[in-house]
Each structure stands twice: as C-alpha cells, then as structure tokens.
Chains A and B, each alone.
Chain A
Amino acid sequence: MSATTLTRRPRGRLGDRLLHAYTWLIIVWLSSPIAVMILFGFNDKKSKSNTSWQGFTLRWYQQLFDISDLTTALKNSLTVAVASTLITVVIGTMLGLALGRHRFRGRGVTNFLVFAAISTPELVMGASLLSLFVSANLPRDALTIIIAHVLFSLSFVTVTVRARVITLDPSLEEAARDLGATAWGTFRQVTLPAVLPGVLSGGMLAFALSIDDYVVTSFVNGSTVTFPLWIIGSVKTGIPPQVNVMGTLIFGIGVLIAVANAVAARRRRT
C-alpha cells in the first residue's frame, strides 16, 4: 500500500521545501524595511541625511522629544486614537449586537452601509468629508479628524463584534433570564463577557487604524498635524532619527500587546 502511495505522490518533498524557503523569503522581504527603520534609529549620523551607517548611538532615544513639532504630532495622534477608539468601540459594539442578535427593519440597509464604509476608498472618504465640512463651513481640527477616524473604524468593530455574537449560544441568555436576571443584568453578566474578546480585538484594530492613518486625515486635519502627516511633511528635508525611534517604540509596544493577547487567548482555551 505504501508503494502505491509513493508512486502516486512522489514529488511532494522538494516542492514543499522550496515553498517553505519561499515563505521565509517573503517574510524577510516584508520585514526588511522595519529592520532598517529600527537600525537607523541607532545611527550616529553626523551629516544632515540619515542614509548611511555611521556608528551606534543611543542619542536619539535620549533626545526623543527634542523636536517639539514632532512630539506635538505624536500627542495629537495618540489623543485622536484614544478618543476615536472609545467612541467606535461603544457605538460599533452596539451595532454589532443589533446585527448579530436581532432581526429588525433596515437590517439589510445597515449591512450594506457597514460594507460600504469598509469598501469606500480612503481617498474618496476623506475627499467627501472635506466636501461636507467645506459646504457646512465647519472648521477642520482634531474634532473633524476624530469624526473621520470613527467613520472608517466603525465597520471593523461592528463586523468583529457581530462575528463573535453569532457564535454565542442564545440559550445562555435565556437561562440567565429564567434565573431571574434583569435585561441589564443579563447583558452585563452574560452577553458582555462573552463578546468581550471581540470588542477588545475590534478596539485594538480601531486604535491601530487611527494611529496609522494618513490619507483620510490629510483631508480633514486643518492645521492639526498628526504623526503620519508630520512624517510625510518632512520627507523632503530628511526624516530625523527621532521618527525611527518613535516608530520603533510604537512597533515594540504593538508587538508586545499582540503577543500578550495571543498568549492570554491560548490560556483561556486550555
């Protein structure tokens, strides 16, 4: 029997090994700009441009907040990300619950709108928001950035929470009600803990999308500058190493949170 198996599938091994190597090649390719970014945050550069390696230094970590415009931009990004994530998580979770748990009029339209918000190109979203703000004579500042960020993250939180709600066994909630829990008590003690992983991952996604966004923000920012906008603005004059350091720190924190999250999820399962 093993002989026939062998003759039927003879060419597996080499192809698999090649594909394995190829997968690593792609991973290295995708990570190489990140490695360069981290490395050049330690570059002891003397000239104006930060393009060639000139020795190791921790100077840029010590002088991290020396460029006040850049620091302000980072602060703006964090403020916008926190505010928009909080709003998105609350209203997106509510919509996710409604779509995952209830049948109601307008459900189809709502699903369509959620899909439309995901699939509208960022450029069109930013441009149309600017058209609205210009038409309504609304000044552009941090508030309009938050409005825009909630808009593009909303669907992602909704979809994540909805996916979680759908897998939830409705009889759990019924059992809670049968045992005399109020509607609010059932929600707080049964529904919410069960959907919480979905809410958290949706929230993290919203935060990541917000802190990363350049295209939409570039339309609605007015004179408020966020971290990505500041970076783009300084491309021509040369990116200071502090940007590399901030990028490295954001990268490190993000990876730590993701790994901790994965470990926690694994522990919950076992």
Chain B
Amino acid sequence: MKRLTPYLLALPSWMWLAVFLVVPLAAMASVSLQTGNAIDGFAMTFSFSNYADALGRYSTQLVRSLWYGGLATVAMLVIGYPVAYWIAFKGGSRKSVYLFLLLLPFFVSFVLRTISWGFLLADDGVLFGTLKGWGLLPADFHVLATTVAVVGGLTYNFLPFMILPIYVALERVDPRVVEAAYDLYASRTAAFRRVVLPLSLPGVFAGVLMTFVPATADPVNAQVLGGTGNTMIGNIIQTEYLTNLNYPTASALSFTLMAVLLIGIFIYARALGTENVLEAAAR
C-alpha cells in the first residue's frame, strides 16, 4: 500500500494532464494536416502544405507578434529592473507593501484592465482630451491603434511578472557580498555590474520567460488597443478557429507559434544556462 501511495496521489492529475494536455496537442497536430471544411468534415490527408499556406498568408502577423512580444519584454526589463532593485535593497520593512501595490492590478480582470487602459489612452479621453483642451497636444494626436498602444498595453499588463522574479533573485543576494565588493574598493557601478547583476540573472531569465511567451501569444491587447493595422498571430488564430472554422490552418498556425516559442526558449535557456527554470518561476 505504502509503495502505491504516490501513484494513487498522482493518478487523477496524470489523467487530466494526459487527456487534456497531451492528447489535445496530438489532436491539434493531426488536425493541422487534414483537409476539408466545417460542413462536410475534415479528413486526414497529411497535407503538410497547410503549413506553407498558413505561413504564406500570415507570416506578417507571426513576425509582428514576435517583434511586439520582444519589444514589450525589453521594455518590461528596462522599466521593471530598477523597481525590483529598489524594493529588494531599500524597501526595508515595507517590502511586502510595495509588492502588494504592484500586484493590485491583478485583482481586476485582464480584459477589463486592458479596456480601462485603452479608455485612458482614448483620443478624446481623460488624458489626451484634457491635454488637447489645453492646447498642449495637436488635435489629431492619437496613440490608440498604433504600435505604441499595443506594445505599451503588453508592457503594462505583464510588467509585474517581470518585476517579481527579479525581485526574488535580488532579495536573496547577501548584502555582505555587496559590502565585500565595496571593501575591495569597487565603485557602485562596478559592484552592481560584477556582483549584483550576475546574481540577479536567474530572476531576469525567469522574468523574460514569464513575459515573452504570454505577450507574444496575447490576442487581447491587439484587439482592444491595436485597431486594424496591428493584428497579432493570436487574433488570426482566434478568427481562423472561431469565425472561419478553418481548423487545419488555425492548428498549423498554433503549432508553428508553439514551435517557434519552444525553440526560442530552448536557445535562450542554453545561452543563459539556468538549471531550474520552474523553481525560479514558481517562487
């Protein structure tokens, strides 16, 4: 009995993960090679050309998604690192208060948060409308329906996921190590560059993973903030699946997206060489 315990404990989750994670991915792989239509049904024809077709039609959006996701990730890193640094080293006894304040937006639904953000950025909204009223901005100034709006929205929505892991890594840096650097006559810059920064890299690694993947695959920001000219691959996959019922193309696109992201993560992990991504991400 005792030897069976772990298997019995794991069994329900195994089944859930097998039936609803592994099998669906296999189903998607299979659908991506089928041909047919929603009315007559789809049949397996091993049409690898589905991939070529899908990529031929939507490579713009795929590349754009990676570009926007990458831009947003860099923006989050640049914006978020100083915040994580300050809270970790200077937050004192109020560290948890600052972290709580950073997490406040998560108590509002992602969709609603994005809409509120778009509402703030509206051409004649509270912010720009007022500034235009004062004559500080030209009347045709707008941010909505531009690249800036979408990348800004992604940055806004996922920023805490960048700050938290970096904070965790910095928080674990022993202050005595930094002291030692100063005692050895390191300047502030040198102490940061040679001691603090390398020790925070696992956090940066986890932060980039936790933000780049969801930002690249996100359909909401482009839909709410992007207008018609900034469609991302997420929007295309949704439309192909749900409106056009073109399951093979949609599956092929989803698979391509996942493959591109996985390969990216793999190269990135090899380059930075962090052993336990999950541990870092989970904390």
Chain B associates with chain A: yes
Q: Are B82 and A22 in contact (CB under 8 A)?
A: yes
Contacts of B28 in A (CB 8 A): 124, 127-128, 131-132
Query: CB < 8 Å: which of B17, B109, B209, B223 contacts A247?
Result: B109
Chain A interface mostly helix, strand, loop or mixed? helix
B67-83 vs A, Cβ < 8 Å mask (1 yes, 0 no): 00000000000011011
| Neighbour of A51 across the interface among B14, B106, B122, CB < 8 A | B122
User: Which chain B residue lies CB-closest to A232?
Assistant: B111
- With A104-B10, A124-B258 already in contact, the answer to whether A119 and B105 are too (CB < 8 A) is no
Asked if A258 and B107 make an inter-chain contact with CB atoms under 8 angstroms apart, the answer reads yes
Do the beta carbons of A227 and B9 come within 8 Å of each other? no
Determine the distance from Cα of A124 to Cα of B213 in the docked complex, in whole angstroms.
Answer: 11
- Whether B238 is near chain A, meaning CB under 8 Å from some CB there, is yes
- Whether B220 lies near A232 (C-beta < 8 A) is yes
Q: How far is the CA of A147 from the CA of B108 in the complex (A)?
A: 23
A138 to B160, CA, bound (A): 37
Could you tell me if A34 and B116 are in contact, using CB atoms closer than 8 angstroms? yes
A42 interface residue (CB < 8 Å to B): no
Q: Which residues of B have CB within 8 Å of A36?
A: 116, 119-120, 126
Query: Which of chain A's residues 62-117 have a Cβ closer than 8 Å to chain B?
Result: 90-92, 94-95, 97-99, 101-104, 106-107, 110-111, 113-117
A143 close to B (CB within 8 Å): no
Min CB–CB distance A180 → chain B (angstroms): 17
**Mask: chain B, 125-165; 1 = CB below 8 Å from A; 0 = not:** 11001000000000000000000000000001001100000
The residue from A91, A208, A212 contacting B12, defined by CB atoms under 8 A apart: A91
Residues of B within 8 A of A214 (CB): 109-111, 220
A129 touches B24 (CB 8 A): yes
What B residues does A122 contact at CB under 8 A? 214, 217
Contact between chains at A27 and B101 (CB < 8 Å): yes
Inter-subunit contact B119/A128 (CB<8 Å): no
User: Does A32 reach chain B (CB closer than 8 Å)?
Assistant: yes
Which residues of chain A are near B102, meaning CB under 8 Å?
A: 26-27, 30
| Minimum Cβ distance to chain B for residue A13 (Å) | 11
Q: Give A148-178 as 1s and 0s: 1 = Cβ < 8 Å from B's Cβ atoms.
A: 1011001000111001000000000000000
B10 touches A98 (CB 8 A): yes
Measured CA separation A33–B10 after assembly (Å): 42
Closest to A110 in B: B10
Closest Cβ–Cβ distance, residue B129 to chain A (whole Å): 7
Q: Does B48 contact A (CB under 8 A)?
A: no
Q: What total of chain B residues lie within 8 Å of the partner, measured CB to CB?
A: 88
Nearest CB on A from B197, distance (A): 16
- Residues of chain A contacted by B223 (CB below 8 angstroms): 232, 235
Q: Mark B217-260, 1 if CB is under 8 A from A, else 0.
A: 11110011000000000100110011000010011001001100
**Chain B residues, Cβ within 8 Å of A228:** 109-112
Interface of B: prevailing SS:
helix
Looking at the assembled complex, report how far the CB atom of A25 sits from the nearest CB atom of chain B, in whole angstroms. 9
Interfacial chain A residues near B82, Cβ < 8 Å: 19, 22-23
Residues of A within 8 A of B182 (CB): 8-9
- Known contacts A36-B120, A159-B282, A215-B219; decide if A30 and B105 are in contact (CB<8 Å): yes
Residue A185 at the chain B interface, CB threshold 8 Å: no
Chain A residues contacting B39 (CB-CB under 8 Å) are: none
Residues of chain B lying within 8 A (CB to CB) of residue A227: 109
CB of A116 within 8 A of CB of B86, answer no
Tell me, in angstroms, the Cα distance from A194 to B224 when the chains sit together.
Answer: 44
In chain B between 12 and 62, which residues have their CB closer than 8 angstroms to a CB of chain A? Answer: 12-14, 16-17, 20-25, 27-28, 30-31
Residue of A nearest to B97 (CB): A262
Partner of B247, one of A52, A134, A255: A134
CB contacts (< 8 Å) of B117 on chain A: these are 33
The complex places the Cα of A103 from the Cα of B16 at a distance, in Å, of: 21
**Residues of A contacting B220 in the complex (Cβ-Cβ under 8 angstroms):** 214-215, 232
Q: A135-B31, A231-B109, A239-B115 are in contact. Are A123 and B234 (CB under 8 A)?
A: yes
Task: Tell me whether A27 and B21 are in contact (CB under 8 A).
Answer: no
Residue of B nearest to A115 (CB): B278
Q: What are some 6 contacts across the A-B interface (CB < 8 A)?
A: A26-B102, A98-B6, A124-B258, A128-B27, A208-B107, A251-B107
**Chain B interface (Cβ < 8 Å from any Cβ of A):** 2, 5-7, 9-10, 12-14, 16-17, 20-25, 27-28, 30-31, 79-80, 82-83, 85-87, 90, 96, 98, 100-102, 104-113, 115-117, 119-120, 122, 124-126, 129, 156, 159-160, 182, 185, 188, 209, 213-214, 216-220, 223-224, 234, 237-238, 241-242, 247, 250-251, 254, 257-258, 261, 265, 277-278, 281-283
